[in-house]
Structure 1
Amino acid sequence: MDQASMKPSPKGVWSRLALWKKILVGMILGVIAGSLMGPDAELLKPIGTLFVNAIKMLIVPLVFCSLVVGVTSMQDTRKMGRIGAKSIVIYLGTTAVAISVGLGLSHILAPGAGLGMTASAAAADAKEAPTLVQTILSLIPNNPISALAAGNILQIIVFALGLGVALNLCGEKGKPAVQVFESLAEAMYKLTELVMKLAPYGIFGLMAWVAGKYGLEILLPLFKVIGVAYLGSVILVLLFYPAVIQVVGRLNPVPYIKGIMTPAAVAFTTTSSSGTLPASIKCAREDLGVSKGVSSFVLPLGATINMDGTALYQGVAALFVAQAFGIQLEFADYVTIVMTATLASIGTAGVPGAGLIMLSLVLTTVGLPMEGLAIIAGIDRILDMARTTVNVCGDLMVSVLVGRSEGELDESIYYRAEGENLKVKEETA
């Protein structure tokens, strides 16, 4: 046998690559293609659009079936309430930390200083965020079928929770329906696996379009604010989340960091927490060892109410606008920004353009020019990549913590990639 025949073919090498590595290759090739093609890279956008549409196709049935299965797997309704309470408390706490990180970095690095922004820019139109009362009233769908068709995630979650509890209370009579939802959930997981095989190609198209549209000519004037936002994102994902897992969860964070690679890459390129949900659920179950019940409950909830990355973005953007317009903020303004963004994260998470909506709330609350929205909107897509990645990584961190606290984290799966050495080191530390 000659030496040439022993070399693996490119196709064979590609098939053996891990999914996140394929996605990384797609991202890099997309950036190169977009940089070379410029505006003509718009021609490649349909490839990414097809992938995003396929992901969106999964969201409603996956969330609905996963939640019903998650609730019915918890025969103890008190346990469900306990898990929900834990998740919400952790989500709100990490959101407050995230916006504090954004404010702190922006105060130190001053991304808006010297940019010479003026109020002459046209203000972006922002959709009005719902009030607390409106949010509460809109939780119950008038027609659950309409909620499913419209993709109203909050209403879908409420209906799925109610249906799951009702099926549990039905006892034996509810078991046939539970089996149907379990079969549908498994079918959605398999469909997710098939769709995810298209991720490298779809992400290539998306990144080519982004690189072609947002070239250096657009990024350079605002490079500093982008850098601050990305630095804050790295601090949260690689320092804060692992520290919480190690201190609170008493787990070695290295498997967590390695396990989140694929959903993080999907989140970065699709800029959709809900769109990344299929990859997040797959990761939590197969790579991090979180049980089906916990992952099916915590992750859809997090995709709806957890806004760590968006909160970080609020802190950076608010101070950037203040510095760009030469407005001095007091300590009380900083506290107000933290409280507003944290509480608004639940009410606006399910609204299209949630990042800009939350920013409009923050700017209005502390009296900053609304023209700042137009400035930030120009680079919103670039910032959205980072904040969505943080949102998704935060969701997965909470799923690990809740699974660990409930005794529903399979450590043999969690430590599988690293072997037992990490677990031994963690237990002896």
Structure 2
Amino acid sequence: MTQNKKLGLTARIVIGMVAGILVGFFFKWLLAGQEERILHFLSLEIPLKAFFVNGLLHIGGEIFIASLKMLVVPLVFVSLVCGTCSLSDTSSLGRLGGKTIGLYLITTAMAISLAIFAALLFSPGEGVQMQSDANFSLAEAPPLSQVFINIFPSNPIESMAKGNMLQIIVFAVLFGLAMAMSGKAGERLTLVFNDLSEVIMRLVTLLMNLAPYGVFFLMAKLFTTLGFETIASLAKYFAVVLTVLILHGLLSYGVILKLLTGLNPLMFFRKMRDAALFGFSTSSSNATMPVTMEAVTKKLGVKNSIASFTVPLGATINMDGTAIMQGVATVFIAQVFGVDLTLADYLMVILTATLASVGTAGVPGVGLIMLAMVLQQVGLPVEGIALIIGVDRLLDMTRTAVNVTGDAMVSCIVAKSEKEFDPDVFNDPAAGTKDETIDFQHLR
């Protein structure tokens, strides 16, 4: 217990991640070519894969993910209501939304442009001769008109039950505006929501202390089942996507943050370590949202009135990491099938992927759906997606970390421009860390 208190959350998560990877490699080696290997222990015959991999590791990881997702809907609704009703000028909401959406679309366009340039430079698909019988099905993306209709909930309770983020955001904003206009009744209700927000953030802190164990289970399960043979056959594609993700996540975001706010990018990345690790481990911006929200408000100094809007919206429509995958994958598939794309085709890819990041936000399997839309737009065979599915899981972890970092970066820029930013918190290395470890003995 004493030793754990000396370690920060980031160090504990890294230890859990490394331990999980090593355990995953161990099970992969142990089960190599023996799917039904039996462990004889205390006169018991225990099937290794069924009991450990698909049993203990799977259950531990799924419970951790479910615990994080449990917080998403109440966190988004309560924090967004608090943020909206606390706006000193409710008419500024349109300006706030315009800035946020505009920045998310600009960074997405930058991401896919960088990806296409890198793919053309390194040609990951040249000389690749691959055949794949992989079967996959994609949900059909709704038309643009239906997208706008679906943003507005007919039943907000159903929207919350289904986790439809765009509808929850709209209802929370309208509810917060109504509270701000309701005089004494609104003020009383504001106190209640502020207390709820504090309780939910305390619950986030509680779950963050369990993160190293959840990360261990997730990594162990993943690296037991990960097919490295596929990664080897797609090494060049994998390397290009990974390099562009890292460049965009560090260089592009760092330069944009410095140019538009003057803030220190190194301090920003230092304070985003935990959220990025969560994103990498969970592969879900939504599941990571509670951790992102805490990092943005408590460590980066963004006021809740801004973060409660920019972070949920970013987790829904900000898909820079996915756009990078689409850019490289489009060039890769074109090269594999011997199709020459023109400059107009590449511009169409950039435009389609950028707009699709909003249009397909609430659709399951959004990354593959967006890629299918892009491929169809420039006449490439959608079947080419089957070539890259094998390595997409590991890349998905990295691009989620990039998306989460982008959400925080845009939050800082918007908050700075709206004068809802505390530079003292941002520049304080210890800000937001005092509640990192909970004394569980005290809770008894």
Tell whether the structures are fold-level matches, with TM greater than 0.5.
yes
Q: In the aligned structure 2, how far is the partner of 1:379 from the partner of 1:35?
A: 17
Partner of 1:85: 98
Cα distance change on mapping 1:298 and 1:333 into 2, 3 Å: same
Q: Match for 1:49 among 57, 62, 65?
A: 62
**Distance apart, 1:418 and its partner CA:** 8.5
Q: In the aligned structure 2, how far is the partner of 1:16 from the partner of 1:226?
A: 37
User: Percent identity at matched positions?
Assistant: 44
Q: In the aligned structure 2, how far is the partner of 1:219 from the partner of 1:47?
A: 26
Contact 1:290 1:403 in 2 (8 A): yes
Is there any run of 5+ residues in structure 1 with no aligned partner, and where?
1-10, 420-429
Q: In the aligned structure 1, how far is the partner of 2:6 from the partner of 2:297?
A: 22
Contact 2:317 2:358 in 1 (8 A): yes
Partner of 2:216: 204
Partner of 1:300: 312
Q: SS in structure 2 opposite 1:328?
A: coil
Contact 1:225 1:316 in 2 (8 A): yes
What is the alpha-carbon root mean square deviation over aligned residues? 1.5
Structure 1 window deviating more from structure 2 (229-238 vs 32-41): it is 32-41
Q: SS in structure 1 opposite 2:99?
A: helix
Partner of 1:8: none
Map 1:95-174; keep pairs closer than 5 Å: 95-118=108-131, 121-174=133-186
Q: In the aligned structure 2, how far is the partner of 1:54 from the partner of 1:250?
A: 37
The alignment status of 1:33 with 2:46, answered yes or no, reads: no
Aligned length: 408
**Distance apart, 1:192 and its partner CA:** 0.7
> For residues 247-276 of structure 1, what are the alpha-carbon distances to aligned partners after superposition, in whole Å with 9 as ceiling and x for unaligned?
111112111010110000000110111111
Q: Match for 1:384 among 396, 405, 415?
A: 396
Q: Match for 1:194 among 201, 206, 222?
A: 206
Partner of 1:22: 12
> For residues 129-160 of structure 1, what are the alpha-carbon distances to aligned partners after superposition, in whole Å with 9 as ceiling and x for unaligned?
11110110111111111111111111111100
> For residues 330-373 of structure 1, what are the alpha-carbon distances to aligned partners after superposition, in whole Å with 9 as ceiling and x for unaligned?
11110010000000001112221110110110111111111112
The alignment status of 1:413 with 2:403, answered yes or no, reads: no
The AA in structure 1 aligned to 2:82 is V
Q: SS in structure 2 opposite 1:378?
A: helix
Partner of 1:319: 331
Q: In the aligned structure 1, how far is the partner of 2:317 from the partner of 2:353?
A: 12
The AA in structure 1 aligned to 2:83 is G
Structure 1 window deviating more from structure 2 (37-46 vs 272-281): it is 37-46
Q: In the aligned structure 2, how far is the partner of 1:344 from the partner of 1:366?
A: 14
Q: In the aligned structure 2, how far is the partner of 1:207 from the partner of 1:317?
A: 25
Q: In the aligned structure 2, how far is the partner of 1:325 from the partner of 1:48?
A: 38
Partner of 2:341: 329
Partner of 1:338: 350
Contact 1:128 1:357 in 2 (8 A): yes
> For residues 277-319 of structure 1, what are the alpha-carbon distances to aligned partners after superposition, in whole Å with 9 as ceiling and x for unaligned?
1000100111111111111111111111111111111101111
Q: In the aligned structure 2, how far is the partner of 1:414 from the partner of 1:14?
A: 26
Q: Match for 2:241 among 229, 234, 239?
A: 229
**Distance apart, 1:122 and its partner CA:** 4.4
Structure 1 window deviating more from structure 2 (373-382 vs 389-398): it is 373-382
Q: Match for 1:369 among 381, 400, 403?
A: 381
Contact 1:226 1:382 in 2 (8 A): no
Partner of 2:298: 286
Partner of 1:425: none
Contact 2:292 2:311 in 1 (8 A): yes
Contact 2:104 2:318 in 1 (8 A): yes
Q: SS in structure 2 opposite 1:111?
A: coil
The alignment status of 1:73 with 2:63, answered yes or no, reads: no
> For residues 84-116 of structure 1, what are the alpha-carbon distances to aligned partners after superposition, in whole Å with 9 as ceiling and x for unaligned?
111111000000000111111111111122220
Contact 1:117 1:325 in 2 (8 A): no
Contact 2:64 2:214 in 1 (8 A): yes
Q: SS in structure 2 opposite 1:371?
A: helix
**Distance apart, 1:200 and its partner CA:** 0.8
**Distance apart, 1:117 and its partner CA:** 2.3
Contact 1:206 1:269 in 2 (8 A): yes
**Distance apart, 1:123 and its partner CA:** 4.9
Q: In the aligned structure 2, how far is the partner of 1:214 from the partner of 1:324?
A: 24
Q: SS in structure 2 opposite 1:248?
A: helix
Map 1:349-364; keep pairs closer than 5 Å: 349-364=361-376
**Distance apart, 1:180 and its partner CA:** 1.7
Map 1:272-283; keep pairs closer than 5 Å: 272-283=284-295
**Distance apart, 1:223 and its partner CA:** 2.1
The alignment status of 1:261 with 2:273, answered yes or no, reads: yes
Q: In the aligned structure 1, how far is the partner of 2:334 from the partner of 2:83?
A: 45
Is there any run of 5+ residues in structure 2 with no aligned partner, and where?
32-48, 432-444
Cα distance change on mapping 1:172 and 1:397 into 2, 3 Å: same
Q: In the aligned structure 2, how far is the partner of 1:218 from the partner of 1:22?
A: 31
Contact 1:229 1:313 in 2 (8 A): yes
Contact 1:35 1:211 in 2 (8 A): yes
